[in-house]
Amino acid sequence: MKPTVNKFTWKIGGAAGNGIMVTGAMLAKYVTRAGLWSVDYSEYPSLIRGGHNVQVVQVDDEQIFSHDQGNEILVALNEDTVRKHVAEMSSQGAIIFDPDRLTINDAMLGGRKDIQLVPVPLVKLALQEGGKDLMQNTVALGATLALLDAPMDLMDEIFKDTFGEKGDAVVQLNQKICKAGYAHVREQHPAKFPWSIMPKPQEPRMVIDGNSAIALGFLQGGLTFYSAYPMTPASSILTTLAELAPKYNIVAKHAEDEIAAVNNAIGASFAGSRAACGTSGGGFSLMVEGLGLAAITETPLVIVNAQRPGPATGLPTWTEQGDLRFVMHASQGDFPRIVVAPGDPTQAFTESARALQLAEHYHLPVIILTDKYLAEGHWSTPLFDRGAVPMQRGGFVAPHEHQGKDWYGRYADTPSGVTPRPVPGQAGGVFLANSDEHDQYGFADETAVNRLMQVAKRNRKLESALPHLPPRTILWGEPGADVTLVTWGSTTISCREALRKLRTAGVTANILQILYILPFPTEEVTKAFASAKRTILVETNSSGQLGSVIAGYTGKRCDHQLLKFDGRPFWPEDIVSFVTSLH
Amino acid sequence: MTTPLKNTDFNTTHFPTWCPGCGDFGIWTALKNALAALEMKPSNVLIVYGIGCSGNMSSFIKSYGFHGLHGRALPAAIGAKLANKNLKVIVVGGDGDGYGEGGNHFIHALRGNVDITYIVHDNQVYGLTKGQMAPTTELGQPTSSTPEGTVDQALNPVALAIAAGGSFVSQGFAGDVGQLTQLIVDAVKHPGFSHVNVLQPCVTFNHHNTFSWFFKRVYKVESVQHDFSNKYEAFARALEWGDKIPTGLLYREIRPTWVDRVHELDGEPLATRRIDTIDISKTLQSFT
């Protein structure tokens, strides 16, 4: 078989609690430092122990976005892993397993004769070198690198950078255990594996998940207060910010529930902080009344909704884009908001920083809509541009601008709809923020003329924000293609991978990604549809929510729709085969 | 020399819309008295209000105000205090608002000990929505939502506050403005979460717990040499209801506040920190 360099998929499977997620992250870091591109994705049930957990790392010479279903190396920590994943294996692919714990027979392999079995005494080697059971993962990592003929010194450096803070002993233990796996494979299975890694020089890149990108975007955007109640798949925004809190002197507050979380953030923002809160759909449901409170009191607020399949508890650890229409209209009443749906970690970083700034300048709620796939998947990514959203404070009134006044007209009408705000404690700026409809000082006012003025003023802020938004749609690929994939959020990633594959299949395609759902880019989408030859709506929900939103704003309907709602993201093959079947 | 503040410095151009004879007038007066006594200028204090007749006080007191959601005044106030620890934050709400709709926030605010003051109008009934059962309505009392009498036992807010870890738990009476003023002053001065449950009649919807009903029953705990530092004694006293109802400071302990315990809050308040010099490059590097 022809050798393949720098292109393979690695998969590890075991019971929850086996620590497999960390192993995949280390491998992703390795290949990224080796100048390659990786994407990883995990599947796990809502369990802490037991169940079947899988992590996949796909590696490529070129930038890749989402992985396909093939697999070259399978690390099987239990029998389930072999049985469930053997069918996906490439011919000549390898299964690394611990012969002391697992016996692989023909029946488990489903009759496959073209798979290499690589027995490595994972636990024994870990214990022999002075580690614990769980460090079998590190042995497996060493075995993987040996199979791929990859240099070990690069891994040594990663251990040093990752565990350096824990002391030399921890670094050396990891290095030793990893080497034991490496040496074992070198001796027992010398050089007959068709896939290999050949490092190449490159600019530094990160391996990062969507939630970390949001946390970093918030820090870059000047966030000082974050409140949340844990909920998969949003929890790691809270835990990441909590871990970084001492470094950046911020508060990441674990609130008693999501209602408290949203009201905490509103209070902090009212007092002058850049504040945000985050959750998944269930928690967002609880935050909905707070969303309206931020709107009527014109208090800046940023909320992250990392979607998972609902309704109710739904599929807690899987992915879906089922909340689009919900977040667009959530809360009683009719008020403006911004909804942004990042489609990769870089967009998540930039738009999170921007969300804080937009909320502060325009006194609006901004919702960042992601999903489990983006939130918890990891991608090799160029270093984020820290200057993408230059820091600029806005929307405040300086004390000297209202000196000598008894009450400040915080809700007085203005041409832009934005009335600069004082913060509590500021002399002479006294006003009432009122969840009742109110006059310019905040006093309840139920007159028709005031109501009309206040609604118009609030709505006008969205128009004022428009020139300060980035392009709200992104066209990936060449204009004039045979097929246009119309999509949003994390499904953009799957579409971008499909684009690469369609090119090879001889089909020209491009992608219309709608980055800002609100304010809806009606003009841009209308134009894009006018020049598209054939449009295919691609999203992970069962009713085609984006399609109906587009139809509502533009009157245009997509020619075809490809929907997926089994909790899994689109595999690029799903999209490629749908597109090619149309031709 | 600055002129001392007067009760009337906290008036607005709006006069209260409460029913004539409502207990809210007493609480309103006591709060303004306390603000004047504490020499807190209207621009230095933030009052966060719940929704109900109590929350309508937002239009009748001059200060920075935040009239939020029903039951959600506490978390908004806590967020504001954490963002600006130098701000004096007072929360005004009602029994249905704070013990019903917002009960969860009350329990956790007591645990967290954020340095704010929580004044609750406890009239044992829903006023603004016209006479339905409140969490503190006495068992068996007919209300518009329980015409045959309530079947849920009444909540005891001060006993709950002590049990949940409150560091300042007190009970006032809207018919004793002098005592209530002092309680609010002490509560605001207390370093930590201070709770003032204020007993009051609802002249329109509660014909059982009237002013005269209360006058016959309330007594000041100072008069019986109550030891407010003894949690067991405080709890026993807090449980009293019926023939004798205690008022005054029931329980107090000094322990670190939320802000004391969180070192990220040392120094400049969050809200006034510089955010244009943040450098995340090292953290980015850790992802390479």
Tokens (6 digits) for A90: 């490439």
Is the same domain home to A288 and A171?
no
- Per the CB < 8 A criterion, the answer to whether B80 and B48 are in contact is yes
In a domain, B2, yes or no: no
* Contact map slice: A 262-291 vs B, CB within 8 A: 262-275, 289-290
Decide if B272 touches A, using CB distance below 8 A: yes
Going by C-beta distance under 8 Å and a sequence separation of 6 or more, which residues neighbour residue A559?
Answer: A534, A535, A536
Is the Cβ–Cβ distance between A243 and A215 less than 8 Å?
no
Query: Mutual orientation of helices B103-112 and B73-83 as an angle, nearest 10°?
Result: 30
Q: Is A246 in contact with A410 (CB distance < 8 Å)?
A: no
Q: With an 8 Å Cβ cutoff, is B75 touching chain A?
A: yes
Query: What whole-number distance in Å separates Cα of residue A361 and Cα of residue A366?
Result: 11
3-state SS of chain A: helix, strand, coil percent to 5? 40, 20, 40
User: Chain A contacts of B12, Cβ < 8 Å?
Assistant: 443
DSSP state string for A75-96: EESSHHHHHHHGGGEEEEEEEE
Is A397 strand, coil or helix?
A: coil
Residues A228 and A290 in one domain: yes
Residues 440-459 in A contacting B (C-alpha not used; CB under 8 Å): 442-444
- A493-501 mean pLDDT: 94
Query: How does strand A37-43 pair with strand A378-382?
Result: antiparallel
For chain A, what is the domain count?
4
d(CA A65, CA A202): 19
CA neighbor of A348 nearest in space, from A319, A317, A374: A374
Tell whether A398 lies on the interface with B, counting CB pairs under 8 A: no
Longest CA span, chain A = 88
Which chain A positions have a beta carbon within 8 Å of B273's beta carbon? 224, 249
Which of B9, B260, B280 best probes binding to A when mutated, by most A CB atoms within 10 angstroms? B280
What is residue A68's predicted lDDT score, i.e. its pLDDT? Answer: 73
CA distance B76 to B278: 27
Three-state SS at B89: strand
- The count of other CB atoms within 10 Å of the CB of residue B239 is 12
Partners of residue A270 in chain B, C-beta under 8 Å: 66, 76, 79-80, 83
Q: What is the CA radius of gyration of chain B?
A: 20
pLDDT of amino acid A49: 59
Local confidence band at A190 (pLDDT 50, 70, 90 cut-offs): confident
Question: Distance (Å, rounded) from C-alpha B259 to C-alpha B78?
Answer: 11
Write out the residue range of the structural domain in which residue B150 sits. 7-285
- Domain containing residue A312: CATH number: 3.40.50.970
Asked if A14 contacts A102 with a C-beta cutoff of 8 angstroms, the reply is no
How far CA B173 is from CA of B25, B151, B169, B203, B237, in Å, comes to 12, 26, 14, 15, 16
Specify which residues B223 forms β-bridges with: none
Which of A264, A272, A384 is closest, CB to CB, to B284?
A384
Residues of A within 8 A of B105 (CB-CB) are: 256, 259-260
Instruction: Identify the bridge partners of residue B46 per DSSP, sorted by sequence position.
Output: B64, B89
pLDDT tens for chain B, residues 1 to 288: 467 899 999 999 999 999 999 999 999 999 999 999 999 999 999 999 999 999 999 999 999 999 999 999 999 999 999 999 999 999 999 999 999 999 999 999 999 999 999 999 999 999 999 999 999 999 999 999 999 999 999 999 999 999 999 999 999 999 999 999 999 999 999 999 999 999 999 999 999 999 999 999 999 999 999 999 999 999 999 999 999 999 999 999 999 999 999 999 999 999 999 999 999 999 999 999
Among B43, B48, B284, beta carbon nearest to A429: B43
CA distance A319 to A234: 12
The reply to whether residue B276 touches residue A435, judged by beta carbons under 8 angstroms, is no
Evaluate whether residue A362 is within a structural domain: yes
User: Is there a single domain that holds both residue A424 and residue A566?
Assistant: no
CATH number of the domain bearing residue B240: 3.40.50.970
- Residue A541: which domain range? 473-582
Q: What is the three-class DSSP state of A382?
A: strand
Residue A510 has a pLDDT of 98
Q: Are residues A478 and A462 in the same domain?
A: no
Tokens of B168: 């300042």
A264: chain B residues, CB-CB within 8 Å:
75-76, 78-79, 82
Q: A444-485: per-residue pLDDT in tens? A: 999 999 999 999 999 999 999 999 999 999 999 999 999 999
Judge whether A387 lies within some domain.
no
Nearest residue on chain B to A429, alpha-carbon basis:
B43
Sort residue A451 into left (φ over 0), alpha (ψ -120 to 50) or beta. Answer: alpha
For residues A138 and A215, membership in a common domain is answered with no
Residue B50, in any domain of the structure: yes
- Indicate whether A388 belongs to any domain: no
- Measured in angstroms, the CA of A303 and the nearest CA of chain B are apart by 15
How many CB atoms sit inside 10 A of residue A61's CB?
14
**Which pair of structure tokens corresponds to residue A388?**
């993408």
Which structure tokens are listed for A463?
């128009």
Digit-coded pLDDT (tens) for A335-344: 999 999 999 9
CA-to-CA dists, residue A385 to A204, A220, A368, A388, B277, angstroms: 13, 10, 19, 5, 15
Q: In this structure, are residues A175 and A159 in contact, taking their beta carbons and an 8 Å threshold?
A: yes
Q: Select the residue of A256, A264, A428 nearest B43 (Cβ to Cβ).
A: A428
Q: What distance in Å separates the CA atoms of residue B227 and residue B190, rounded to the nearest whole number?
A: 17
Dmax (CA) of chain B: 73
CA distance B185 to chain A (A): 19
Cα A110 from Cα A244, distance rounded (Å): 48
Residue contact B80–A227, C-beta within 8 A: no
B83 and A227 in contact by Cβ < 8 A?
Answer: no
- Predicted confidence at residue A50, as pLDDT, reads 62
Q: Show residues of chain B in contact with A34, CB under 8 Å.
A: none
Average of per-residue pLDDT across A252-280: 98
**Three-class SS state of A119:** strand
Query: Of A198, A226, A247, which one is at a domain's C-terminal end?
Result: A198
Chain A contacts of B287, Cβ < 8 Å? 206-208, 212
Please work out, in degrees rounded to the nearest 5, the angle formed at the alpha carbon of residue B112 by the alpha carbons of A231 and A243.
50
- A244 and A165 housed in the same domain: no
Q: Which residue has the tokens 């700034």?
A: A357
Q: Pick the closest to residue A198 from A160, A142, A156, A145 (CA basis).
A: A145
pLDDT at A160 over 60: yes
- What order do you get walking across the sheet with B168-173 strand by strand? A432-434, B64-67, B45-49, B88-94, B117-122, B194-199, B168-173, B245-252, B218-220
Say which CATH number the domain at A166 has. 3.40.920.10
CB contact under 8 A, A425 and B77: no
* pLDDT-based confidence at residue A47 (cuts at 50, 70, 90): low
Q: Is B11 at the interface with chain A, CB within 8 A?
A: no
Task: Please give the angle made by the CA atoms of B188, B64 and A336, to the nearest 5 degrees.
Answer: 130
Distances (CA, A) of A126 to A130, A133, A165: 7, 7, 22
**Angstroms from B203 CA to nearest CA on chain A:** 24
Residue A562 falls inside a structural domain: yes
**Cβ pair A204:B86 closer than 8 A:** no
Q: Is the pLDDT of residue A60 over 70?
A: yes
3-state class (DSSP) for residue A543:
coil
CB B256, CB B185: distance < 8 Å: no
| Last-in-domain residue among A422, A444, A469 | A469
CA closest to A208 among chain B residues? B287
- Contact between chains at A425 and B67 (C-beta distance less than 8 A): no
For residues A523 and A431, membership in a common domain is answered with: no
A224 in contact with B, Cβ within 8 Å: yes
Using CB atoms, pick whichever of A225, A244, A435 lies closest to residue B69.
A435
Q: Where are the beta strands (DSSP E) in A205-351?
A: 205-209, 225-228, 251-254, 275-279, 301-307, 338-340
Residues 248-267 of B with CB under 8 A from A: 262-265, 267
Centre a 10 Å sphere on the Cβ of residue A257 and count the other Cβ atoms it contains: 16
Q: With 70 as the cut, is the pLDDT of residue A229 above it?
A: yes
For the stretch A104-122, pLDDT in tens is 999 999 999 999 999 999 9
A307 — contact with chain B (CB < 8 Å)? no
DSSP alpha helix (H) spans, A279-323: 281-297
Q: Residue A117 corresponds to which tokens in the numbers above?
A: 């079995």
Q: Are residues A223 and A180 in the same domain?
A: no
CATH number at residue A480: 3.40.50.920
Structure letter (DSSP) for residue A405: -
Looking at the fold, whether A341 and A234 belong to one and the same domain comes out as yes
B287 part of contact set with chain A, CB < 8 Å: yes
Helix (H, G, I), strand (E, B) or coil at A224: coil
Q: How far apart are CA B34 and CA A572, in angstroms?
A: 67
Q: Are A184 and A143 in contact (CB under 8 A)?
A: yes
Pairing mode, strands B88-94 and A195-196: unpaired
Outline where A383-490 has alpha helix (H): 448-465
pLDDT at A51: 75
More confident residue, A21 or A87: A87
State yes or no: pLDDT of A48 exceeds 90. Answer: no
Rounded to whole angstroms, how far apart are CA atoms B41 and B58?
16
Q: Are A424 and B84 in contact (CB under 8 A)?
A: yes
Give the alpha-carbon dihedral of A420, A424, A425, A430, to 10 degrees: 70
* Residue A52 pLDDT: 82
Q: Identify whether residues A497 and A464 lie together within a single domain.
A: no
Is A179 within 8 Å of chain B by CB?
no
**Contact predicate A330/A376, CB 8 Å:** no
Q: How far is CA A400 from CA A229, A396, A397, A407, B273, in A?
A: 40, 12, 8, 14, 20
**What SS3 state is found at A26?**
helix
A370 in the same domain as A234: yes
Of A212, A272, A297, the CB nearest to B272: A272
Question: Could you tell me if residue B1 is inside a domain?
Answer: no
Residue A499 is given by DSSP the state H
- Rounded percentage of chain A residues whose pLDDT exceeds 70: 98
Chain A residues lying within 8 Å of B280, measured CB to CB = 216, 219-220, 248, 386
Task: Select the residue of B65, B83, B278 nearest A433 (Cβ to Cβ).
Answer: B65
Q: Testing the interface with A: which of B8, B72, B90 to mutate, by most A Cβ within 10 A?
A: B72
Q: How many domains does chain B have?
A: 1
Percent of chain A residues topping a pLDDT of 90: 89
Question: How close is the nearest chain A Cα to the Cα of B116, in Å?
Answer: 13
Distance of CA A61 to the CA centre of its chain: 23
- Asked if A105 and A225 sit in the same domain, the reply is no
pLDDT band for position A202 (cuts 50, 70, 90): confident
List chain A residues with CB under 8 Å of B281.
386
Q: Is the pLDDT of residue A433 over 90?
A: yes
Contact B44 A425 (CB under 8 A): yes
Is residue B113 packed enough to be buried (19+ CB in 10 Å), middle (13-18) or exposed (0-12)?
Answer: buried
Determine the distance in angstroms separating the CA of A361 from the nearest CA of chain B, rounded to an integer. Answer: 15
Give the residue from A332, A356, A382 where a domain finishes. Answer: A382
Are residues A443 and B14, on separate chains, in Cβ contact within 8 Å? yes
Give the gap in angstroms from C-alpha A376 to the nearest C-alpha of chain B: 15
Q: To the nearest whole number, what is the mean pLDDT of chain A?
A: 95
* Least confident span in A143-147, A400-404, A514-518, A540-544: A400-404
Q: Is the ipTM of this complex over 0.95?
A: yes
From the list A26, A27, A22, the residue with the least C-alpha distance to A9 is A27
AA identity, residue B61: I
- Domain annotation covers residue B123: yes
**pLDDT single digits (tens) B39-98:** 999 999 999 999 999 999 999 999 999 999 999 999 999 999 999 999 999 999 999 999
The CA distance from B229 to the nearest CA of chain A, in Å, is 28
Q: What is the pLDDT of residues A272-323, one digit of tens each?
A: 999 999 999 999 999 999 999 999 999 999 999 999 999 999 999 999 999 9
User: How confident is the model over A540-550, as a mean pLDDT?
Assistant: 98
